[in-house]
Amino acid sequence: FKKLRGGFLSSVPSTQELKEAASFDVNKDESTVSITVVGASGDLAKKKIFPALFALYYEGCLPKHFTIFGYARSKMTDAELRNMVSKTLACRIDKRENCDEKIDQFLKRCFYHSGQYDSQENFAELDKKLKEHEVMGVWECLAKFSFPSVVMWIGGLSDKNITSDYWSQMDTALLLSEDIPSTFRNEKQRLQCMKELNVQGGRVSNRLFYLSIPPNIFIDAVKCTSSSASSGLGWTRVIVEKPFGRDSDSSAALTKALKQYLEEDQIFRIDHYLGKELVENLSVLRFSNLIFEPLWSRQYIRNVQLIFSEDFGTEGRGGYFDNYGILRDIMQNHLLQILALFAMETPVSLEAEDIRNEKVKVLRSMRPLQLEDVVVGQYKSHTKGGVTYPAYTDDNTVPKGSLTPTFAAAALFIDNARWDGVPFLMKAGKALHKKRAEIRVQFRHVPGNLYNQNFETDLDQATNELVIRVQPDEAIDLKINNKVPGLGMRLDHSNLNLHYAERYSKEIPDAYERLLLDAIEGERRLFIRSDELDAAWALFTPVLKELEEKNIIPEYYPYGSRGPVGAHYLAARYNVRWG
Ligand code: NDP
Ligand code: BG6
């Protein structure tokens, strides 16, 4: 074989030919997807990525030929990885069901390779292992597409003689060479054959890398991925986790470095809030219901509130958090992304680029955030019911005396025709009294309301409000005013409500499931484009710098409280009451 191969190399198809061949509409079932979780030993991988991949497998959403690799520096065998991963897998779809068999099948497709994030050599080893799994299809494929003469010509080898190692060593371009007698002399046939076989060995080999690692090692890993472990002819995509820099400059530097090794369409910047069911539903609610879109402007909307709160502190992530703070951790990305989706104009279509174009326009129409429109806070220790909850600075990984905000409230404005003057108020905090993420839309007063005197509460509370509860307990509530039944004329407000748990029996997929599936399918709608990112940083960078340069002292609030009162004063300045 080696002899033959030497002779054929000169007639191996050109790269252009191979690329064209690979762009045939290949049967999906005949492609392989290798998903490598870089940083597989970490928190996010265990908590979110592997469980999401299992849920996709369980639902039958992963391609037929897939392999999952964990990659990190920690030494682990395949068995150890499987053991680690198995602990976080559960039957999310139906908790009463026994998933053991499915879990076993899934784990058999999971492997591990230990290596450094900046080692080309280690990534090349990974590449070799990936290939072993990707080329398994050659023989089946040959049989399937009945090229018996090639099969015979190869040497009358029987299926059993062919090992994956053998195939991975063989340059399968050989199969496509013009020197192969008779069967492939015809160019058309040869390309057809390439379409079916592909040089990677029978299936188009696609590779997805999920960079679940700290940001300081992103670039090293991307460099190694692209030079030593990217797919030959299939696609190679890289999911990058936030944070995408700390400010405009560092974000631009990250983008520039990423683009040295990847094309923009290979980069999938993840913001997992975009994968949340109710965030996805935002556009559906607005664009497929006649009753909302006409009201969606300064004419009828008084203010919009975007609220994120967690009832726990930075537990375990203090080291990371202290370098970023709540404005970068939640506001500049999760809440701002929701805002852009909420406020954008109707896109030309549902295509990713059309939607992202509209989001960028919103972000670029916004006024950079002003210091006087920001309130920052930090949680302090609090004892309740005999239990003492720690202060942010009690975390060993947080420097003593740190001024990093764990809470912030901000008023933002979109200076365009639709939203001129409407305050978009954001509030985000850790260690607050409850966990929730909500979008609250407060409508204006009814002009000349005939029933003003019949309200028991003040008029402010009598305006309509639309609440989109992103989590927990997903729901959409529309607050309306109605007559209290009876002979008198008393007005009350009630909720027209869509409570997901009551309406739909199926559990809502985790955001990471949707986003991983989208990345596999090449759907970019829910990922952040670099110009969106630039626009988002342009809004926040000046105020972040000012906060840090002026050493602004955060307002301290007790762990488990509603947060600093400053947030109420800020809202009151714009005539807003937090919902
Ligand atoms: P971890 O801190 O757990 O890091 C992941 C892995 O990276 C570790 O298991 C470790 O693997 C390796 N690693 C950690 N620190 C270093 C270092 N200094 N140098 C080289 N390797 C290192 O991160 P998470 O799993 O929490 O998060 C991964 C990414 O996802 C980060 O970018 C984070 O900001 C982002 N993210 C995380 C969320 C979460 O809930 N955890 C939520 C949203 C985003 P080993 O030592 O085996 O190589
Ligand atoms: C992450 C933040 O992006 O989102 C964390 O870094 C935060 O600080 C988390 O806890 C919240 O995500 P979710 O999906 O649990 O609301």
pLDDT tens per residue, range 146-169: 343 444 334 444 343 444 444 444
Question: Closest Cα to residue 176, out of 207, 201, 145?
Answer: 201
Neighbouring C-beta atoms of residue 499, cutoff 10 Å: 14
- From 270, 271, 329, give the residue whose CB has the most ligand 2 atoms within 8 Å, as the site to mutate: 329
Ligand nearest to the CA of 45: 1
Here the contacts of 350-354 (C-beta below 8 Å, separation 24 or greater) are 350/525, 351/525, 352/523, 352/524, 352/525, 352/527, 353/524
The ligand placed nearest to the CA atom of residue 331 is 2
Q: Which residue has tokens 């037929």? A: 64
CB-based contact 469:436 (threshold 8 Å): yes
pLDDT of residue 451: 84
CA distances from 481 to 238, 364, 454, 489 (A): 49, 37, 11, 12
Pocket of ligand 1, candidates 36, 37, 43, 330: which has the most ligand atoms within 8 Å of its Cβ, to mutate? Answer: 43
Q: Are 302 and 264 in contact (CB under 8 A)?
A: no
568 is catalytic: no
What distance in Å separates the CA atoms of residue 493 and residue 442, rounded to the nearest whole number?
14
Predicted TM-score (pTM) of this structure: 0.85
H-run or E-run covering 256: helix 248-261
Q: Which two tokens stand for residue 397?
A: 């990984």
Question: What pLDDT score was predicted for residue 140?
Answer: 44
Query: Of all atoms in ligand 2, which is nearest to the CA of residue 437?
Result: 16
The pLDDT, as a whole number, for residue 155 is 42
pLDDT of 349 reads 96
Each residue's pLDDT tens digit, 12-23 = 444 454 444 444
Ligand 2: residue whose CA is nearest its atom 2: 329
Helix (H) or strand (E) holding 38: strand 31-38
Pick the catalytic residue from 113, 334, 433, 493. 334
Q: Whose CA is nearest to atom 15 of ligand 2?
A: 310
Please state the atom number of ligand 2 nearest to the C-alpha of residue 271. Answer: 3
Low-confidence ranges of the chain (pLDDT < 50): 1-15, 17-28, 136-190, 197-202
Provide the H-helix boundaries in 87-186. Answer: 100-108, 120-134, 137-144, 148-153, 164-169, 173-176
Give residues (CB < 6 A) around ligand 1. Answer: 39, 41-45, 72-74, 117, 212-215, 217, 241-243, 320
* CA dihedral (282, 500, 473, 478) positive or negative: positive
pLDDT of residue 94: 63
Cα 508 off chain centre by: 16
Q: Are 99 and 201 in contact (CB under 8 A)?
A: no
Three-state SS for 466?
Answer: strand
Comparing CA positions, the residue from 478, 455, 458 lying closest to residue 467 is 478
Is the shortest distance between the CB of 329 and ligand 2 below 6 Å?
A: yes
What atom of ligand 1 comes closest to residue 39's alpha carbon?
Answer: 6
State residue 551's pLDDT score. 96
Helix (H) or strand (E) holding 197: helix 187-197
Report the separation in Å between the CA atom of 551 and the middle of ligand 2, taken as the mean of its atom positions.
26
Give the pLDDT confidence score for residue 7 in this predicted structure: 35
71: left (phi over 0), alpha (psi -120 to 50) or beta: beta
Instruction: Report the nearest-CA residue for atom 4 of ligand 2.
Output: 330
Give the separation between CA 27 and CA 543, rounded to whole angstroms.
51
Exposure letters 458-488 (e unless 16+ CB within 10 A, then b):
eeeebbbbbbbbbbeebbbbbbebeeeeeee
